[in-house]
Structure formats: structure tokens, C-alpha cells
Amino acid sequence: MIGSLIVFDEPSLEFRYGQRVSDPHDGLSLFGPFDADESSSVRLSYIAIGTGDGLDLLEQWLDAINQPAILREEGKEANLRLWPPYPGFEAAFAKPWPEKPNWTRAISASELSSASRTHDQYQRANAVVDYYLNEIKLASSKLDPTPNVAICVVPDEVYKNCRPKSKVQDATGEKVSRKTINSRKTGQLELLSDVSLEVYNLSPDFRRQLKARSMEYGIPIQIVRESTLQLTDKARKGKRQLTPISDRMWNISTALYYKCGGKPWRLVTAREGVCYIGIAFRRSEDEKTACCAAQMFLNNGDGIVFLGDFGPWYSSEKEQFKLSRQAAKKLLEGTLKTYKDLGGKELKEIFLHSRSYISPDEFAGYKEACPSGIKLSGIRVRRERRGGLRLYGDQKTPLLRGSFLKNSERSGFLWASGFKTRLATYDGWETPVPLKIDIIYGDAIIERVAQDIFGLTKLNYNACRLGESQPVTVKFSDAVGEILISNPTVEKRRHNFKFYI
């Protein structure tokens, strides 16, 4: 029925012993991770890199992570639905987190601070990354087997200073103009200058650059700010506001388990032989070219990233990305080949998710790359624009998460954010914004497409949450694009999704 509003049930997740519940906190606390009893048991191994203070904080944190944690609020009852108690790593993941890392490397706090205060944003990001990267490189050459994750503890000053729009107080060194930076990007070096031009082809964002350059050594990165590791729920005056310690432990533990090769949970609603591919785009800084990439997700939660071509994919007039027929064909062919090379099972159906409109010529390229016998659908998924459609609940309760308004047989609005019954609250700040879903190509059923997208809001293993406001195919498009496009000279890239989050 067109124009009808229905509410989907919260998608179920599968955990150990085949048990199914909707909230990952419940599933992990009661049963443990989905892969707990697999023969190839997850190996928990890690290296720790940071300043002396940062490593001390991490040691205290990792000691506490094996213990239960619960929110305690002075003078009022704690909302334990919104902030569920953390049972301890072993209780949640069926094995204790190792107290000692395989490798610990301390970085001089004063040298790191000095490097993060250089005027030139490219020089400072590169210098800070080098401090961490040198230790990761050394660990990869010295340790056998290679550790499964590198925990990089970053001082808050470094985090604040080493982002593209950072304004550094008491900056030091040469103040470089935008004109000079642009000339250095094109390979033009001034007379009597010993500046390395390579740093200008890397991201001025510390996080993006470290993620990209560290892929060469095959160790996923978990970046943690020092302030995140404080073992208290009470916010200090003038300091960063944090979620309760139980929530931070849930999120970091889940991310570490996933990056060590584990599968915390499996999406029950995902169908066998069906995959979902998010098309990611990112413009270069000069806005003349853009990068395309594909993020492929399966019913078991595994993610694959494939880099496509750079090209003039963005139209400023239409504010849309559009691939050529050949580029689209190459992107999907490469993604499917990577999937097959990694031992992927036979596929029956592929759903392409894109925030931009998929042109007929572009979809023709995807069709050419799609093997015969596999159904292909092109779906546009994007947050409704500012000033667009909004629906409201009663005076006390926002619209329910999972609400779906069918606009036509090929279009509708899905509220992935909203009042969450399991939490008995709405955990957002703004009026819930719907996802606009349009079936552009294919003969899919709009309700089925919306349900699939709703399920994909629960596959973010970088945190432990009931559900996100966007599906994983769309949510991480910017993150993947930023890491790839901002570091075009980095050649040794990994296909596994865990390297990008």
C-alpha cells in the first residue's frame, strides 16, 4: 500500500550457540561472540605505541578491560538500558584480553608535541605519523607471527593539531602559503630548499595518513586518544565530554576483537548468496578528480574494499558523482575478483548502494561486469536533505526506529534513527532524519530493500551499538574515500575492511 507507514522489527543478530537477540550487548554478555567455537580460534595479539603517559594509561585501561564496569551516577538512578553494564572482556568474548602486549614502544612526548606544532600542516602530519609508523615497521620485521592489531595511543594535543582544519597555537617553523603548497604538490621545489615533496601527496590528517601508510605492514590500527582512556564517568571541568566508561569499554573491546580477526556477531536477516556493495567517492583537494571505491559486505559480516580509478567523476553543476561505463565495469569486476580470490562463495544477487544517482551508462558498465545468472540492482541510499521530510511521534516519544514510509513501488523513507524500544529512549539530539531509498535499476521489492538496509545498520564492528543511523555500505563511504584519495602515492593497500575503520 503506497503512502502507508509500517515499523520493521529490530533485526536479529546471531551469537554463540546459534542464539539470536537484537542488541549486541545482550548477545555478547549472555552467549559470547558468533565465532567463539570455530576451530580457527581468534588470536588476540597486539602492540602498544604511545608516549610514556599514554602507555601508562593504556596499561591501566587494559587491566580494567578484563573486569566488569557499570555506570554509577551520583544522586540519580543510572540509565542502564542506554548504557548497559560491561561484563569484562572474557565474559563478552569468551577469552581474556592479554594483559601484556607483544611489543611496547615509547615515543618522546616532547618530540611528538613539537612535531605536532609545525606551521605546515603537511609537514606536521607526516612527522607525527613517522613516529608511529617507524615502530609499526620495526614490530612487523621483528615479531613472528605478526601481531593482529597496533594500539596507537595519541595525546589529545596531537589529535587536535593534526587535522586538515586545525589551528595550532604557538606554531613553529616555516609558515607556508597555499600557493607554495600547491606548487610543491605539483613537484616544484624552490631553490635552496631541502623540503621533501612526497609529504605533499599525503593527507594532512594524521589518522587518515597513518591508516593508509601502515597497510604496507599488514597490521590494522586502533587509534585511541589519551583522554578516552580515563577510568572515570565523571567529566572534568573544561575537559572533553565522554560517554560512560562501560560504553567506551564495549566499543573498544568490540573493535579490537574484530581487528584481531574475530566475528562478534552475524546478521540473521542477511540472505545466503546476497552481497551489498557500497559505492564510495571522494574528491581530491583540487576538486579536479575524484576517487571511486567499492565496499562489499556479506551475510557473515566480512567486508572487502576495492579501489577503482581516479577520474573526472564529479559534476559541480549537478552535485553528483558519475562513473564512466568503463570505470564502473572495472570497479565491479575488480571487487568481484578480489572476493573470489579471498575464497568467496557463489553469489546469487548483488545490491549496489550509492548516495549519488546511478546513470544508465554507469549501470550498463556494472551489468557488463556482473556474471550471468546473478541479479543486479542499483539502489540510491542517502539521508534526506535539510528541510526535507520529517515525521514526529507524540509529545514525549520521537518516531520509532525502523519506521518505513512507502512512497511508491520503487521508493520510500526509512528511519534508522529514532526511539529505540530496547533502550526505552531516543539516543540522538536532532529530529530523526530518514534515509531516502530509491530502486533505480532492478526488479527488487522496496520493502525487502528497506529491510536489508535496516539490517546493515547493525554491522558496524567498530563499536557496540544497537544500530546506526546509516547502513554500513554508506556510513563508511567517506572514511574509505578519505584514506584512499588523500594518500594517492600509497600503493600497498589492503582489501580487508578492518584496515579502514
pLDDT, one tens digit per residue, over 86-139 is: 999 999 999 999 989 999 999 999 999 999 999 889 999 999 999 999 999 999
Give the pLDDT confidence score for residue 74 in this predicted structure.
61
* Helix ranges restricted to H, 163-244: 178-185, 206-214
Residue predicted with more confidence, 113 or 283: 113
DSSP summary character for residue 385: P
3-state secondary structure of 323: coil
CB 116 within 8 A of CB 14: no
Residue whose grid cell is 563508511: 476
Q: Which residue shows C-alpha cell 584480553? A: 97
pLDDT of 286 higher than 80: no
Amino acid identity of residue 140, one-letter, is S
Tell me how crowded residue 462 is: count the other CB atoms within 10 A of its CB: 20
> For residue 267, what pLDDT is reported?
92
Is the alpha carbon torsion for 142, 145, 148, 151 positive or negative? negative
Q: Which amino acid makes up residue 371?
A: P
Q: How confident is the model at residue 315 (pLDDT cuts 50, 70, 90)?
A: confident
Q: Is residue 335 pLDDT above 90, yes or no?
A: yes
Helices and strands in the chain: count of H runs, count of E runs: 14, 18
Q: Is the pLDDT of residue 168 over 90?
A: no
Q: Is the pLDDT of residue 338 over 60?
A: yes
Retrieve residue 254's grid coordinates: 568490540
With cut-offs at 50, 70 and 90, classify the pLDDT of residue 192. very low
Closest CA to 222 of 236, 207, 237: 207
Q: Which helix (H) or strand (E) holds 135?
A: helix 121-142
Q: SS3 letters for 338-354?
A: HHHHCCCCCCCEEEEEE
Distance CA 212, CA 422 (A): 38
Main-chain dihedrals φ then ψ at residue 63, nearest 5 degrees: -70, -40
Average pLDDT of span 234-250: 82
Q: Cα–Cα distances in Å, from 115 out to 31, 119, 123, 211, 416?
A: 46, 10, 8, 19, 42
Residue 480: what pLDDT? 84
pLDDT at 299 > cutoff 70: no
Please tell me the predicted confidence (pLDDT) of residue 141.
92
Whether the predicted pLDDT of 420 surpasses 70: yes
In sign, the C-alpha dihedral spanning 23, 25, 26, 28 is positive
Tell me the pLDDT tens digit for each residue of 32-90. 999 999 856 789 999 999 999 999 999 999 999 999 998 876 655 678 889 999 999 99
Between 343 and 439, residue with greater pLDDT? 439
**Beta strand 349-354 pairing with 274-283:** parallel
CA 472, distance to chain mean position in Å, is 8
Look at the alpha carbons of 386, 387, 388, 389 in this order and tell me if their dihedral is positive or negative: positive
Q: Where are the beta strands (DSSP E) in 335-428?
A: 349-354, 375-383, 403-408, 411-415
Coil vs helix vs strand at 272 = coil
pLDDT for 75 equals 53
Q: What is the pTM of this model?
A: 0.93
Cα–Cα distance, 205 to 217 (Å, whole number): 20
Percent share of the chain, pLDDT over 70: 93
Residue 385 CA to residue 383 CA, distance in Å, equals 6
**Measured between alpha carbons, how far is 476 from 275 in angstroms, rounded to an integer?**
16
Task: Name the segment(s) of the chain with CATH classification 3.30.420.10.
Answer: 269-381+439-489
The confidence score (pLDDT) of residue 206 equals: 93
Q: Across all residues in the chain, what is the average pLDDT?
A: 89
C-alpha cell of residue 175: 609558515
Question: What integer pLDDT is reported at residue 362 of this predicted model?
Answer: 96
Instruction: Report pLDDT for 319.
Output: 76
pLDDT score of 189: 63
Delimiting residues of CATH 3.40.50.2300 domain(s) in the chain: 35-259
Which CATH class, in words, describes the domain spanning 269-381+439-489?
Answer: alpha beta
For range 339-357, the mean pLDDT: 90
Please check the confidence at residue 389 and state whether its pLDDT lies above 50: yes
- Distance separating alpha carbons of residues 434 and 469, to the nearest angstrom: 8
Q: What's 35-259's CATH class?
A: alpha beta
CB 434 within 8 A of CB 415: yes
Question: What pLDDT, on a 0 to 100 scale, did the predictor assign at position 76?
Answer: 57
Average pLDDT over residues 372-384: 95
C-alpha cell at 410: 520503487
The confidence score (pLDDT) of residue 128 equals 96
- Identify the pLDDT of residue 16: 96
Range 383-398 average pLDDT: 75
H or E stretch including 7? strand 5-7
